[in-house]
């Protein structure tokens, strides 16, 4: 019998934590576990979470994954952690969390972001200095907000960590960051891969923030060994190594084998993301493109739309449809929904850059106002946003032979065909839908075993050939017309 080579991959997201047990010898996922988080929602777009919930969910999901895998926790050699990007966790001198974590989807700090952006010289100044245009969800505006709204908390800050950095700290007692997730803070230069200390000094000249920065480590470096008490709590080998981990998009790239030019990953989740590997920091002049670092030694130009399955979900609720009935209605309506267009900006929008936009329906008349057309219009509208973003990425020189589709929406054959036709590119799903947790486990194996990342991805990432979807020439032309209509409507905003 071949010796098992077991790694734990964790993905701490907004809605919950997923854990997978990977055998890096066979490339097979042996077990999967999950546990939910709750969201603290408040006025002005406040979105926060209690970090204790992450620790409880981490523990529960791990126990469930080990149980399903039927393996001993003592056999786990390494752990990798993927985390939701941009969140802020503040710790005091004793390593205690000072207040709930502010999340990527929190927009309460939009006024602070506007002021910081003005200080940087607008989006073009921010792009020139940092390589990214800071947006309200980024970490930097959360620091200024804390200084102004909670000065007594600010005065006790000893560590500034992102969600995945905080989980690594909990596991090992060591405060470090890696380049991929650090790219989304707004105080990190993606070209030079260094913290922008001067920007933090502008927020607070005392030097407190600079002293609270974690040390930066490479993607294939280990953070350290598990703390004995945590190893006991998780039921895991106390000699297990914790890898650098990364943001959920960076780990999703590894988990879809997106570690060399030519592959594009597209996630159809509550928000939509499109990203691809680049071996150079080709910073786009378009502020909507975030040229983050990857967690595999390169860069990961990325676009994120704010409205995807959250928008289709609202339409389903309106008509009281389950997924099957919704998809059947989408399929009934023709391409272009008989002239009905939806700009699905229910949550504002980042790509196209329309933060204050609202949703709208266009082209309605007595004959085309049907449930089927409305259902199709919302799916087309959200997918056109991804096409808009993919075109921006292609302008930076990215080539794409195929799109690897992940996220809840990827399970729908109707939607897969729509993506293939609208993007005019072959689409295929990966076998393992939990791409970020898988990527974290693969990264743990990479940093522990010394095996090349390419070889590990070849072995552990497989595509579901039954899901392979090719564009249909006649559909491509019809969608192009509908997309141009969408672009004309967006231009009026």
Which CATH number covers residue 104?
Answer: 3.30.420.40
248, 338, 391, 421: the active-site residue: 248
263 domain residue, yes or no: yes
Query: Pick from 216, 248, 280: which residue ends a domain?
Result: 248
Indicate if 261 and 221 belong to the same structural domain.
no
455 domain residue, yes or no: no
Indicate if 204 and 88 belong to the same structural domain.
yes
pTM for this predicted structure: 0.94
Indicate if 191 and 79 belong to the same structural domain.
yes
Q: Give the pLDDT means over successive 10-residue stretches in the chain (493 positions).
A: 84 96 97 96 93 98 98 97 98 98 93 97 97 95 98 98 98 98 98 98 97 97 98 97 97 97 92 94 93 96 93 97 97 98 92 89 98 98 97 88 93 97 97 96 96 97 97 98 98 93
- The angle formed by the CA atoms of residues 359, 347 and 367, to the nearest 5 degrees, is 25
219 domain residue, yes or no: yes
Indicate if 215 and 322 belong to the same structural domain.
no
Indicate if 363 and 472 belong to the same structural domain.
yes
Q: Which domain holds residue 360?
A: 257-430+462-493
**Cα dihedral 242, 246, 251, 252 in deg (nearest 10):** 150
Indicate if 280 and 216 belong to the same structural domain.
no
Indicate if 146 and 93 belong to the same structural domain.
yes
336 domain residue, yes or no: yes
Residue 199, classified by CB atoms within 10 Å of its CB into exposed (0-12), middle (13-18) or buried (19+), is buried
393 domain residue, yes or no: yes
| Contact criterion met (CB below 8 Å) for 343 and 488 | no
Buried b (16+ CB within 10 A) or exposed e, 346-357: bbbbbbbeeeeb
| Contact criterion met (CB below 8 Å) for 63 and 140 | no
Specify the pLDDT at position 396: 85
Indicate if 118 and 70 belong to the same structural domain.
yes
Specify the pLDDT at position 371: 98
Query: Pick from 227, 248, 269: which residue ends a domain?
Result: 248
| Contact criterion met (CB below 8 Å) for 303 and 273 | yes
Query: Pick from 203, 220, 248: which residue ends a domain?
Result: 248
454 domain residue, yes or no: no
Active site residue 60: no
Indicate if 88 and 122 belong to the same structural domain.
yes
Specify the pLDDT at position 1: 46
Indicate if 176 and 281 belong to the same structural domain.
no
Indicate if 349 and 231 belong to the same structural domain.
no
Indicate if 233 and 311 belong to the same structural domain.
no
Buried b (16+ CB within 10 A) or exposed e, 481-493: ebbebbeebbeee
Q: Residue 467 has which token pair?
A: 């899901």
- Residues composing the chain: 493
437 domain residue, yes or no: no
403 domain residue, yes or no: yes
Number of domains the chain is built from? 2
């Amino acid at each position: 019998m071949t010796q098992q080579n077991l790694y734990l991959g964790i993905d701490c997201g907004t809605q919950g934590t997923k854990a997978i047990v990977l055998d890096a010898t066979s490339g097979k996922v042996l077990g999967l576990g999950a546990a939910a988080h709750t969201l603290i929602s408040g006025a002005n777009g406040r979105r926060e979470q209690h970090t204790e919930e992450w620790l409880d969910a981490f523990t529960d999901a791990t126990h469930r994954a080990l149980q399903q895998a039927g393996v001993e926790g003592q056999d786990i050699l390494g752990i990798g952690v993927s985390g939701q990007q941009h969140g802020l966790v503040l710790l005091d001198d004793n390593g205690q969390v000072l207040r709930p974590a502010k999340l990527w989807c929190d927009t309460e700090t939009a006024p602070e972001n506007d002021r910081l952006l003005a200080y940087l010289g607008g989006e073009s100044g921010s792009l020139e200095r940092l390589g990214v245009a800071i947006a309200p969800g980024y970490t930097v505006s959360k620091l200024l907000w804390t200084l102004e709204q909670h000065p007594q908390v600010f005065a006790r800050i000893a560590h500034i960590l992102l969600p995945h950095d905080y989980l690594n700290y909990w596991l090992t007692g060591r405060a470090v960051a890696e380049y991929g997730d650090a790219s989304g803070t707004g105080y990190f230069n993606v070209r030079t891969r260094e913290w922008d200390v001067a920007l933090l000094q502008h927020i607070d000249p005392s030097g407190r923030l600079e002293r609270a920065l974690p040390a930066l480590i490479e993607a294939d470096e280990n953070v350290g060994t598990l703390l004995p008490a945590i190893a006991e709590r998780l039921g895991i080998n106390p000699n297990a190594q914790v890898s650098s981990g990364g943001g959920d998009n960076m780990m999703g790239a590894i988990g879809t084998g997106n570690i060399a030019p030519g592959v594009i990953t597209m996630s159809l989740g509550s928000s939509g993301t499109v990203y691809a590997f680049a071996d150079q920091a080709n910073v786009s002049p378009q502020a909507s493109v975030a040229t983050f670092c990857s967690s595999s030694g390169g860069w990961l130009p990325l676009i994120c739309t704010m409205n995807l399955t959250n928008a289709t979900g609202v339409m389903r609720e309106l008509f009281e449809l389950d997924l099957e009935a919704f998809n059947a209605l989408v399929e009934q309506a023709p391409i272009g929904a008989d002239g009905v267009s939806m700009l699905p900006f229910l949550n504002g929008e980042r790509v196209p850059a329309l933060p204050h936009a609202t949703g709208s329906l266009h082209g309605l008349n007595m004959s085309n106002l049907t449930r089927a057309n409305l259902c199709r219009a919302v799916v087309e509208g959200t997918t056109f946003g991804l096409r808009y973003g993919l075109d921006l990425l292609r302008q930076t020189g990215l080539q794409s032979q195929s799109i690897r589709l992940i996220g809840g929406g990827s399970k729908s054959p109707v939607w897969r065909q729509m993506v293939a036709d609208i993007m005019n590119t072959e689409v295929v799903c990966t076998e393992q839908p939990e791409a970020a947790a898988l990527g974290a486990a693969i990264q743990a194996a990479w940093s522990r075993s010394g095996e090349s990342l390419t070889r590990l991805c070849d072995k552990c990432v497989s595509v579901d050939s039954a899901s392979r979807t090719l564009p249909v020439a006649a559909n491509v032309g019809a969608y192009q017309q509908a997309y141009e209509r969408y672009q004309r409507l967006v231009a009026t905003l």
